[in-house]
Amino acid sequence: MADTFAEFITTLKEKLNIVDVVAGYIGLEKRGTSYWACCPFHHEKTPSFAVSEPDQFYHCFGCGESGDIIKFVKEMENIDFMDAVKLLAERAKLTVPQSGYDNQRTVEQKRKRDTLLKILNDTAHFYLDNLNSGKADEHIEYILKRQIPSGIVRTFGLGASLNFTDLPAYLLRKGYNKQDMLDSGVINSIDGKLVDSQGGRLIFPIINAMGEVIAFGGRALKKVDFGKYKNTKDTIVFNKSKNLYNINLLKKLKTSQTIREVIMVEGYMDTISLYQAGFKNVVASMGTSLTQDQARLIKRYTDNVLISYDGDAAGQKANLRGLEILKNEGLNVKVVPLVDNLDPDDVIKQLGAEGYRGCLNRAMPLIDFKIHALESQYDLTKSEEKRRFVAEAIKVIKTADSATEQEDLLKALRDVSGITYESLKRDLNSVPAEKRAEPQNVAERKDTATVSERASRYVVAAYLFGARFAAEVPINDIVFENDVHSIIANYIRSKQIMEERVQPAELFEFFEENSPEYGELCHILDYSDGNRFNGEVAEKYFFDCIKRLKTDEIDRQIARLKTLIEKEQDSAARLRLAQSMQQLIQTKRKIKSGDKQ
């Protein structure tokens, strides 16, 4: 059965072109035999992400991310291996075989995930039925009060939890076991009793980009001692920091039009209110501080983001944090200033869609918003507070990227404060420039390889990518001590025996993702552009590396003989071992003194 699945994966990869799939997520530019783009996995201004059409794999020469067509979809969609296979199979119009594809542990993980998704889906239908049962008067009253039309209720799949006991009983009747129910997050255990984790609340299903219900948000309808809103807990299918509310509808929107910008809000009601008002390009961070994963999720749909959090002080601080994270991921970000103490939902209710559009039109870059936020903290009619505001604003202006931007900001500060431009300029010049911290999320590749390991890496890469001079030395003549290099060399040997083409993309199946071995493979793929195999210098370096690998192997043999000689009691046997060691020493000298070996 496993062979059947392996054959299916081979067929799937043969039927699809990685270039077509990657181009559906990011823009590609053809250069030579490869297609290039700025890496979707780390922030960069110069493209270093390459997709090889002949070899059907991608590799970033900046951060080292590498993989085949399945791994790319898996990473971009934030899904597991099987879901990526299913998504690609749909595209290729193939049916995924029902057989397992890996070991028992993986099969159990898949069973667990599938079961939790079924529980979540059944729970969503249960909540929806409750809302339409005639028993959810409080929930309906809240929906009417918030002016949510029935069509929007259906679009977002809103539901109702009537109490703490009905859902556990329903799921038990459906045949789910207690542990799976608890692991799904929809059920809690209190004093040994199973209870609905969202008991009594208005329910907002959280749906991922694949259209799967992965969690729920709930809004309390009565006064509670804890938050009005709460999400079900993180599970194997839901991580709040890696998901965005309404990402499913944003993905659907992208299939019908180009998304010029995404509006980022905090919560469910803001999202629904904006969507209802015609702003369908909206997602919510669900009350959490923005994360790098969320920033990368947005980047799949657009490079432009408008952060539209609440107009109060807390919301403004969240704006600043979010902007920094988004900016570090290479997104063009602006902040939408709202009327004080209003949230986007309030603006829509009080000023309508046009009023909110006016707010969007006034969106400002980070540095402008920082000064705007400072201004709201001081009473500029009081001399002392105005001086403090100006002093703080000048510190912000000092961080501007250019003298032109500084001048523009100083003029704006002059207009607000009434202080002359010349005075502000002198104060600005007296402020010491701060050291700019490098973005913490820029990918840094650690490489602790020794000189010998680097030589081994270069040699195996030369064979893998068909360097002209590699054909002069049979790969069978070389011993690779590094396990990864040895596995790749064996793969190349098998292809030579079968007289088949070496396909680097097949190597991704040999190593477990995120393992040191997979990382070493990615280092080898740094040579995939072929540039380091051109010219006399590259050829000389290759043969120098061959010498090192051969002398390293001789050194290991000599070390083993020394150990045997120390342990050997028989003098004749010791002599034979010593003679063998001397022969190895002479061979090593010949190798080091010779040219090509």
CA–CA separation, 410 vs 542, rounded Å? 59
Rounded to an integer, the average pLDDT of 247-253 is 94
Residue position matching structure tokens 């199946």: 509
DSSP classification of residue 364: B
* pLDDT value at residue 283: 97
* pLDDT value at residue 317: 59
Structure tokens at 243: 């998901």
Bridge partner list, 306:
263, 334
Provide, rounded to the nearest whole percent, the portion of the chain with pLDDT above 70: 92
Residue position matching structure tokens 């501007």: 400
* pLDDT value at residue 440: 41
* pLDDT value at residue 340: 67
Helix (H) or strand (E) holding 41: none
> Is the CB of residue 195 less than 8 Å from the CB of residue 189?
yes
Angle between helices 383-398 and 421-430 (to 10 degrees): 60
Q: Which of 534, 511, 513 is CA-nearest to residue 465?
A: 534
CA–CA separation, 593 vs 591, rounded Å? 6
CA–CA separation, 491 vs 486, rounded Å? 9
Identity (one letter) of the amino acid at 125?
A: H
Least confident of 225-229, 303-307, 527-531: 225-229
Structure tokens at 462: 């030369």
Compute the Cα dihedral for 571, 573, 577, 582 and give only its sign: positive
Q: Which of 46, 52, 78, 83 is CA-nearest to residue 66?
A: 52
CA–CA separation, 52 vs 72, rounded Å? 13
* pLDDT value at residue 2: 44
CA–CA separation, 475 vs 255, rounded Å? 49
What does the mean pLDDT of the chain come to? 89
CA–CA separation, 152 vs 157, rounded Å? 8
CA–CA separation, 44 vs 255, rounded Å? 27
Structure tokens at 138: 């409080």
337 pLDDT above the threshold of 80: yes
Task: Give the pLDDT confidence of 112-137 residue by residue, as tens digits.
Answer: 888 999 999 999 999 999 999 999 99
CA–CA separation, 311 vs 308, rounded Å? 8
Structure tokens at 538: 């590259």
Q: How confident is the model at residue 439 (pLDDT cuts 50, 70, 90)?
A: very low
DSSP classification of residue 245: B
* pLDDT value at residue 108: 76
> Is the CB of residue 478 less than 8 Å from the CB of residue 502?
no
Structure tokens at 530: 């072929």
Q: Which of 21, 168, 59, 53 is CA-nearest to residue 525?
A: 59
322 pLDDT above the threshold of 80: no
Structure tokens at 461: 């890469």
Compute the Cα dihedral for 352, 353, 355, 356 and give only its sign: positive
Task: Give the pLDDT confidence of 536-578 residue by residue, as tens digits.
Answer: 999 999 999 999 999 999 999 999 999 999 998 999 999 999 9
Rounded to an integer, the average pLDDT of 409-423 is 92
Q: Which of 329, 331, 261, 249 is CA-nearest to residue 293?
A: 329
Q: Which of 464, 467, 440, 435 is CA-nearest to residue 542?
A: 467
Rounded to an integer, the average pLDDT of 260-281 is 95
459 pLDDT above the threshold of 70: yes
Least confident of 59-63, 179-183, 349-353, 439-443: 439-443
> Is the CB of residue 389 less than 8 Å from the CB of residue 371?
no
Residues of the chain by 3-state class (helix, strand, coil), percent to 5: 55, 10, 35
597 pLDDT above the threshold of 60: no
* pLDDT value at residue 45: 81
Q: Which of 210, 200, 272 is CA-nearest to residue 73?
A: 210
Count CB neighbours of 368 within 10 A.
18
Compute the Cα dihedral for 305, 310, 311, 314 and give only its sign: negative
Task: Give the pLDDT confidence of 190-248 residue by residue, as tens digits.
Answer: 999 999 999 999 999 999 988 999 999 999 998 776 678 999 999 999 998 889 999 99
Q: Which of 89, 82, 97, 94 is CA-nearest to residue 1?
A: 97
Task: Give the pLDDT confidence of 38-90 residue by residue, as tens digits.
Answer: 998 888 888 999 999 999 999 999 999 999 999 999 988 878 888 899 899 99
Rounded to an integer, the average pLDDT of 349-362 is 93
394 pLDDT above the threshold of 50: yes
Residue position matching structure tokens 């702003």: 279
Report CA-CA distances (Å) from 12 to 85, 99, 208, 543: 8, 16, 24, 39
Strand residue runs (E) in 191-257: 193-196, 202-207, 213-219, 229-231
DSSP classification of residue 195: E
Q: Which of 358, 365, 376 is CA-nearest to residue 335?
A: 365
> Is the CB of residue 565 less than 8 Å from the CB of residue 577?
yes
Is 158 in a helix, a strand, or coil?
coil
Q: Which of 77, 102, 101, 78 is CA-nearest to residue 91?
A: 77
Rounded to an integer, the average pLDDT of 587-592 is 88
Q: Which strands make up the sheet holding 49-52, listed edge to edge?
A: 29-31, 34-37, 49-52, 57-60, 66-67
Count CB neighbours of 8 within 10 A.
18
Is 202 in a helix, a strand, or coil?
strand
442 pLDDT above the threshold of 60: no
